[in-house]
Every structure is written in structure tokens, then in C-alpha cells.
Amino acid sequence: MSWKVAIGSSDGHIVNQHFGRCDRFLIYEVDEDGNYSRIENRIYEHLFTLQGHAENKLRAVAELLDDCSFVLVSHIGPGARAVLHGKGIQALAVNAPIEQALDRLTLFLRSGRESILN
């Protein structure tokens, strides 16, 4: 089994982007053995040009990430978290280098726990 993880990073090294301001996501594939690799850069080109309510923008970004199981960003508000949750995507606020964040996520996934907080 494997999971796709979208990461908000401005430099490709640290999880440092606020979900609502990300114009691109680094997509990693993580397997159950804890191996991961970056498989693509997904760019959201319409972030600043999409008209309408902020919720419309959140839904558009959620559509962009609808094949991902997790989103790792430095900050995420409750509205964005709820939109992602509605798509079956778990959003996590992380302040760490990407490798460290993915190592923590894979430890959680391998643990079989139902909550990352347990």
C-alpha cells in the first residue's frame, strides 16, 4: 500500500507554506515500509486569479489534491482543514524539514494507530 502526500514548501527542503497561500505542492509517494520519493510538483496556477469567496479557492485547491491522502503545511485554518477532510484528505500542520516530517508520518502510518496524536 502507498499514499500520496502533498507538501507545502517554498524551497523544497522545509515544510514552510501556509495552506491558503500555497501556489504549488510537492507530491511524495510514501509506502508502508517507510520509503518515500518525490513524484511531482503540482502547481496551482489560479490561486491569485480565482474570483469569488475564499471557500471557492479552498475547494479548487482541494480538487487539485484529491488523489492525496495527506497534506503537510506549516499552517492551516479550520475551514481549509474541513474542506480537505470532506475530500478524505488529512491535513497536518508541521514545522520541520521535509525528510523529518515524512519520517514522522511514516512512523505513524506503520504504527497502525488511528490517531496521529495517540
In the chain, domain spans: 2-111
Strand partners, 38: 28
> What are the CB-based long-range contacts (under 8 Å, 24+) for 102-105?
102/5, 102/28, 102/30, 102/36, 102/72, 103/34, 105/5, 105/30, 105/70, 105/72
User: By C-alpha distance, which of 24, 28, 25 is closest to 3?
Assistant: 28
Of 15-19, 45-49, 68-72, 82-86, minimum mean pLDDT range: 45-49
* Angle ∠(23,39,44) on CA atoms, nearest 5: 15
- Which pLDDT belongs to residue 48? 53
Amino acid at 2: S
Q: Decide if pLDDT at 22 tops 60.
A: yes
Amino acid at 103: D
* CATH code linked to domain 2-111: 3.30.420.130
- The predicted model scores a pTM of 0.87
Residue 77: which residues within 8 A CB-CB, separation 6 or more?
A: 19, 20
- Which pLDDT belongs to residue 49? 55
% of the chain beyond a pLDDT of 70 = 86
